[in-house]
Chains A and B, each alone.
Chain A
Amino acid sequence: MSQETLRIQKISGHAGTVAGEGTQREYTICKLIDTTTCIGCKACEVACMEWNDLPFGETIFGNTYQTMPETRWNYWNLILFNEHEREDGSLMWLMRKNQCMHCADPGCLAACPSDGAIVQYTNGIVDFQQANCIGCGYCITGCPFDIPKLNPQTKRVFKCTLCTDRVGEGLEPACIKSCPTGCLHFGSKDDMLDLAEKRAKQLRDHSNYPNAGVYDPKGVGGTSVVYVLHDAANPELYGGLPKDPHIPWSVKLWKGPLKWLGNVAMVGGLIGLFVHYLRFGPKDRDEEEMKAETKS
């Protein structure tokens, strides 16, 4: 068994034990995103596209600097731009790099029915294995951050890999490296939380941001991507960052207390797959949807 397998601690749709669970000593890794020093330059967007050799898509003007309304299957890293007027009339232009949060308790993985389509490494990276993906899209529902996106042509779901290929070789993720201002930082989760708290304190003490704080939501067990926000009390201002994200109740229910029911309710699952086919199966619907996606 390869070492890589031992570095997996959670596997989607997997019966039985996970071989690597608890067998490896590894530091958790983490991205820190300091929104207060983000200049919305999109270097991270480009670095992601370039490193992952993602194909270009069409974009249209949307009365904003934001590249597109939301992430796409071939656009995993998107800065969200929000103009926010303070009570005194002064303006804040909030920019937030949006991407997979790599939750400790990943809703996508919990929701995924396909064995090995989503794995979580011991370092905290949640990674999609497209070879095992059946395109059902349940991960999309399971994600409280609306991140995974389906490629309707290949019926595979994609999202940020946290550059497993780079991290696996000891490099930082491509977005982190590119970030001109250093609003992106990479290191162990402990170190990033420490940096984040210090930065938030600095903002509270030396800038006009009494509510500055760190975003590391407990509802999903914490994340491997943490934010420093000028206003931690109102994460929604930053392009709808959920205040208290949770795995959807349906996923929890079926993975938790009612797991036994699922184990015998094969029929239910088959119905699910059948309905899914009805929805996504026909080719013409796919093309329509793809067009809608590129235009949105």
Chain B
Amino acid sequence: MTNGWVDIKNTDMMLIMGGNPAENHPCGFKWAIEAKRNRNAKIISVDPRFTRTSSVADLFCQIRAGSDIAFLGGVINYAIENNRIAKDYLVNFTNAAFVVKNDFKLPGDTDGVFSGFDAGKHTYDRASWNYAAAGGAANAGAPGAPAPLPEKVDYDLTLQNPNCVFQLLKKHYSRYTPEMVERITGIPKDQFLKAAEMYTSIRKDGDMKMAGTIIYAVGWTQHSFGTQIIRTAAMLQLLLGNVGRAGGGVNALRGHSNIQGATDMAGLFDTLPGYLKVPTPGDASFDAWMKRATPTSSKPAPWDSWNYYGNTPKFTVSLLKAMYGDAATKQNGWAFDYLPKVDRDYSWTHLWDDMYNGTVKGMLAFGMNGVAIGPDSNKNIDALKKAEWLVVGEIYPDETSEFWKSPRVIAQGDMKQIQTTVYRLPCAGFAEKDGSFTNSARWLLWKNAAVPMPGDCRLDHGIVAQIFLKVRDLYKKDGGKFPDPIMNLTWNYSDRLNPPLAEVLKEMNGKALADLEDPATKQQIKAGQQLPGFAWLKDDGTTSCGIWIYAGSFTEAGNQTARRDPSDPSGMGVHPGWGWSWPANRRVLYNRASCDVDGKPWDPSRRQVWWNETTQKWVGNDVPDFKADSHPKDHMGPFIMNPEGVGRIFAPLGAFADGPFPEHYEPIESPIVNPLHAGQSTNPMVTRFKDADDKFGTTKDGFNVVCTTFRLTEHYHYWTKNNPMNVQLVPEPFIEMAAEMADEMGIRGGEHVKVSSARGEYIAKAMVTKRIKSMMIDGKKTYQIGIPFHWGYRGIAEDEGKTARNLVNSLTHTAADPNAHTPEFKGFLVKVEKV
């Protein structure tokens, strides 16, 4: 989230799409209701199904799963056509005025792809996706290497230059007419116009006081163009001047207690803690890596850009010092060779494909039911059959640890042929351990252990420590391949077998390794002391910090994540003394954009930060997300993490794999050919696999019903099927279908229905409802169904034989978004039969 849960109470308008917070985040959703109650705020709910969020919305639009870019692009078009845009914000705080290179071409002009596409290799040469340099200068770059962003960008503050970002944006989305939106999304034109009118009404007559928020979840991410859906939302928010504002922003709900923390911590192949770039084999040295990974500013000459990622070397050296201590020296490039180098995609879908094809031989799965949670469960089960070993750390019996006795394996009768050794280790529940979670508002909150572990359970982090230390002992004893990173990894916890988590958080926060002094304030920090924040990090090895964005979470003043001061002096839901939020305990990101160019709040009744002329400093109710002494006349951009300093309506160069502007592409399995460009129906950059299990269905094969999956408020993922209370609330799986469809098929509520895709089938009872209706998609009557995914083959109901013991994700396919590498499993094709 750019903003936070409580901040939603400040909003005037909510577009809730690709998410269903009333059901999946009820206690956060209270702030949406508070905004309705106290500000008469409106909710627009856009969803494939009429959900419990829709039930309290002011407007509901039923959308076809996977057509979200068309909807949002249509709203952008509407906002521009009706002049409901934040003109000053747009010109000064975004790259709308930047001029793009002449040879850049939009997909409307080049058959559905952007300029630079190589149809044979399915790759883009992104050289044209760049700004024009001021004065027509060539973009300077190393010989042979792709030209970087120009240091001085050509720009036109009147926004009239036909190649400026704003004009390109306008041209690109002029194709997303209400009629086109209707054809693609299935939302009738008048309904769409109502939604577009309502959402953009906050910028009626250019008034900047009101703020609108966009709230989403995995209904947006789990598509082969998921990142671009979210980008379209971000662009709309920039266009309307909603980013950085109280009650505004782009807000991911996030579905797991510490999914934000796990993302921050880079439990992901392609980042290092704090969103640092991983080294590639092409980075010959630490310095080469830093040169590639550290951006330089790119902006109109009179403007200023802080380019905060210019500090990348400080963050990275401090991380390597935290990991490798004295073994990380300037001489060895801060143990650069210890880090594995990554030059290909190792993400979720590849992981299973690599196991399926024999590369991955062993897997450790902790608190993650891999077979169930991602697409194509059958392929994942088949992959595990080929693994040599699997270690599962869990608190309940799950589908992954029991893949070898799954109904699929039993049906195939090959249990005894499966050679995989599976270890299942009993772990600790949440109430049995302390430590911090980071919620979706970026708040780190410390929790305490309340009860002892039952039976022979062990702490999860203890198990990881114990395995790692045993491996290290083996290397010490027997030697082996490149033991250096293993032997030199810092592990100096007072209890090495069960590291006390407060000590770990201290390491993450970082400390001084030598006496430090701030040259400006003369403030001193002694060697060994905790750092107060990331501004102190150094690239000379005198600081260590496990994750730079968490610097400030455990200082000399103690564990900041355990703070419990509930007060909210501004009344705006900032709560600065409750827990600690990254970065720097700032609650709303980019909050400098809550002020006009002169540093005065757009809405004086919702003052977040502002420029204090007397003290010559940025001050406020929140921690300013800005260089504290940058005078407004210097025109430093509020989006300090971008080299441009401004928000990117146009995303240049390699920022996105599939285009600088989002374009509507059809899901891999779609009932129609893309009405915008039949020749390029789907995302040209999508990742697909070609194994025997990777099958795709088409309407020609009879797969003509659009299917999506969802969560219920009564259940949590694949966890509460073990909880008798939740099982009582919703005892068994079902399939939601339109009453009209059920009538046609002669299906009554409660009767069993079989849903099949090209990959698998799923049986459950029909829930016949008025909450889903048939849709006209590009002139074709189309049905959509929805299936909650909480069941599998282990659980209370499953074990009692009350379900068909199957997994919804046996229906879904493996194809991934080229940016976030998230698989597409929120929209696919099925056929539905009565059983």
Contacts and interface: CB of A to CB of B under 8 A. Distances in A.
Given A39-B53, A40-B713, A56-B728, 16 more contacts: A38-B56, A39-B22, A41-B713, A46-B725, A49-B725, A58-B731, A61-B731, A62-B749, A64-B767, A90-B60, A91-B770, A92-B55, A93-B54, A180-B26, A181-B22, A208-B58
A23 interface: no
A180 B40 contact: no
Contact of B729 (A42, A50, A182): A42
Given A49-B725, A85-B770, A41 B52 contact: yes
A93 B749 CA distance: 18
Contacts of B714: 41-42
A91 B750 CA distance: 22
Contacts of B271: none
Contacts of B750: 61-63
A41 B52 CA distance: 8
Interface in A170-196: 180-183
A39 B728 contact: no
Given A42-B713, A93-B55, A181 B770 contact: no
Nearest to A181: B33
A226 B52 CA distance: 22
A26 interface: no
A50 B725 contact: yes
Interface of B: 22-23, 26-27, 29-30, 33-34, 36-37, 40, 50, 52-56, 58, 60, 712-714, 724-725, 728-732, 734, 749-750, 765-771
A83 interface: yes
14 contacts: A37-B37, A37-B56, A39-B55, A39-B713, A40-B713, A41-B26, A63-B765, A67-B729, A85-B770, A90-B60, A180-B30, A181-B26, A181-B56, A202-B37
A199 interface: yes
Contacts of A92: 55
A60 B731 contact: yes
A199 to B, nearest CB: 7
A63 B734 CA distance: 9
Interface SS, B side: mixed
Contacts, number: 104
Contact of A202 (B40, B713, B731, B765): B40
B835 to A, nearest CB: 15
A231 to B, nearest CB: 14
B29 A180 contact: yes
Interface in A27-78: 36-43, 45-46, 49-50, 56-65, 67
B16 to A, nearest CB: 12
Contacts of A95: 52, 55
A65 B767 CA distance: 9
Contacts of B771: 83, 91, 93
B436 to A, nearest CB: 23
A283 interface: no
Contacts of B766: 63
B26 A39 contact: yes
Contacts of A59: 728-729, 731
B55 A40 contact: yes
B725 A56 contact: yes
B768 A67 contact: no
B53 A207 contact: no
Nearest to A37: B33
A50 B726 CA distance: 12
A95 B56 CA distance: 10
A91 B60 contact: yes
Contacts of A25: none
B791 to A, nearest CB: 12
Given A41-B26, A57-B728, A83-B771, A63 B749 contact: yes
3 closest A-B pairs by beta carbon, nearest first, are A63-B749, A180-B26, A93-B55
Contact of A61 (B50, B58, B734): B734
B55 A181 contact: no
B637 to A, nearest CB: 38
B26 A91 contact: no
Contacts of B767: 61, 63-64
Contacts of A91: 50, 60, 770-771
A163 B30 CA distance: 24
Nearest to A49: B725
Contacts of A41: 22-23, 26, 52, 713-714
A206 interface: yes
A46 B729 contact: yes
Contacts of B30: 180-182
Contact of B52 (A83, A93, A202, A208): A93
Contacts of B729: 42, 45-46, 59, 67
A45 B725 CA distance: 10
